[in-house]
């Protein structure tokens, strides 16, 4: 059974460029990144054809937009409808 995460927390973490950057930085450092309220772990999804990533909450399945990660940081994929707002 999965834990339902509060939508407000998911938006703060995975629907916000700064939240995603912080979560990604945690991943790169080998840390475990979790939903702020339920503690559900975030997992990383990889799109091998484009080399992009996204973070998905293992509790509720809420995904971040796809992004590309490079030495200078992350950039959001322009053809992802959700990242057009950033
Ligand atoms: Zn969640």
pLDDT tens profile 10-25: 777 888 888 899 889 8
Distance 40 CA to ligand 1 centre (A): 6
Res 47: pLDDT: 92
CA 60 to ligand 1 center in whole angstroms = 4
Alpha-carbon distance of 45 to 70, in angstroms, equals 16
* Closest C-alpha among 65, 45, 43, 59 to residue 6: 59
pLDDT of residue 6: 81
Domain assignments of the chain as residue spans, ordered by start: 7-85
0.85 cut: is pTM over it? Answer: no
C-alpha 20 – ligand 1 centre gap (Å) = 14
- How far from the centroid of its chain's Cα atoms is residue 6's Cα? 15
CA of 59 to the centre of ligand 1 (A): 5
Question: Residue 32 Cα, ligand 1 centroid: separation in angstroms?
Answer: 14
Distance from Cα 31 to the centre of ligand 1, integer Å = 17
3-class SS shares of the chain: helix, strand, coil, % to 5:
30, 25, 45
Q: How far apart are CA 41 and CA 35, in angstroms?
A: 6
Distance in angstroms (rounded) separating the CA atoms of residues 54 and 68 = 9
């Amino acid at each position: 059974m999965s834990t339902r995460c509060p939508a407000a927390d998911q938006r703060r973490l995975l629907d916000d460029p700064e939240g995603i950057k912080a979560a990604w930085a945690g991943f790169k450092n080998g840390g475990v990144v979790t939903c702020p309220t339920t503690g559900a772990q975030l997992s990383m999804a990889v799109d091998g054809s484009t080399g992009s990533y996204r973070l998905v909450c293992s509790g509720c399945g809420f995904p971040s937009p796809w992004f590309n990660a490079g030495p200078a940081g992350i950039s959001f994929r322009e053809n992802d409808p959700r990242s057009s707002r950033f």
